[in-house]
Amino acid sequence: MYSLMLLNGGIGNRVAAGRPKQFIEVAGRPIIVYSLVAADAVPEIDQIVLNYPEGFREEIEHLVADYAVQTPVTYVAAGASRHESVAAMLPECRNDRVLIHESARPLVGTADFKQLVADPRENVSLMLPIPFTVAPVDPDTALVTGSLERDRLRNVQLPQKFLKADLAEAHEQARDRRLVFTEDATLCAVTGHEVHFIDGQDTNIKVTTPTDVKLAGFLLGGDDDA
């Protein structure tokens, strides 16, 4: 069985002035609801560890009840950074295997979680091939410094799955070595753990700007008939 760590603590200044972005509505529902409901339909997830921005626990608890989420939820106060949040949530996970997702990705589907759960490998991330060209640059001098093979690069997505012990050890190393990562697949890989990837969906966008809110609303509106 799996514990899902649902990251939900960040304040999205770019999207919703002064209000946590997980409360912004996409296609008529708070954005966090989509991830909760998708995870709730996965039988292998028997615990959701959910962090909340300070002052919003009650509101989050109401959403969980109102939207008929049946998987037991463990609430953890959000840390000052993503690193701190994951470090605080990990000990609350009661399973040896954990999934990580973030509420800012409302296009996640039950099938995404099931695909990860079904994968026989221990540490796996959804990732997306990069369909455009990227270049290494020196931002200080505005010089292009070389070239990158896009076939050897991936856009890192969530959800991801890890052995709890591997993730905990990676975070411990990061703390000791003062490494800062914005997500956990590369953190685990850099700290010596084997991490695999499988192709995700290009619709699984992270909502960070008002344009993203509109795009997610469009994508969640369902397929138009021909």
Partner 1 sequence: MPKSILITGASKGIGAATAERFFYADNDITDLILLARESEEFEKLIGRFADDNPHGKRVFPHFIDLADRARIVGLMRDVMAEAGKVDILINNAGYTAPCALQQISFADFERTMGVNVYAPFTIVQELLHCGNTFELIVNIASTAGMSGRPGWLTYGASKAAVINMSEAIKEELSIYGTRVVCISPGRCATDLRRKLAPDEDPSTIMQPEHVASVIDMLASDVGHLVDSQNFVVRR
**Which of 115/186 has CB closer to partner 1?**
115
Q: Smallest Cα–Cα separation from 21: which of 210, 157, 204?
A: 210
Task: Quote the least distance from Cβ 164 to partner 1, whole Å.
Answer: 28
**Which of 66/194 has CB closer to partner 1?**
66
Quick check: 194 binds partner 1 (CB under 8 A)?
A: no
- What long-range pairs does 12-21 form, CB within 8 A, spacing at least 24? 12/104, 12/208, 14/208, 14/209, 14/210, 15/207, 15/208, 15/209, 15/210, 15/212, 15/213, 20/53, 20/56, 21/104, 21/207
Could you tell me how far CA 65 lies from the centroid of its own chain? 22
- Restricted to residues 61-100, the positions that interact with partner 1 (CB under 8 A) are 65-70
- Count the neighbouring beta carbons within 10 Å of the beta carbon of residue 68: 9
- Restricted to residues 3-62, the positions that interact with partner 1 (CB under 8 A) are 27-29, 33-34, 37-38, 41
**Which of 210/221 has CB closer to partner 1?**
221
Instruction: Please list, in sequence order, all residues whose beta carbon lies within 8 angstroms of the beta carbon of residue 206, skipping any fewer than 6 positions away.
Output: 102, 104, 105, 212
Task: Quote the least distance from Cβ 53 to partner 1, whole Å.
Answer: 23
**For residues 33 and 6, is the Cβ–Cβ distance under 8 A?**
no
Task: Quote the least distance from Cβ 98 to partner 1, whole Å.
Answer: 24
Residues that bind partner 1 (rule: CB under 8 A) add up to a total of 15
Quick check: 111 binds partner 1 (CB under 8 A)?
A: no
**Which of 33/213 has CB closer to partner 1?**
33
Task: Quote the least distance from Cβ 141 to partner 1, whole Å.
Answer: 49
- Count the neighbouring beta carbons within 10 Å of the beta carbon of residue 147: 10
**Which of 23/67 has CB closer to partner 1?**
67
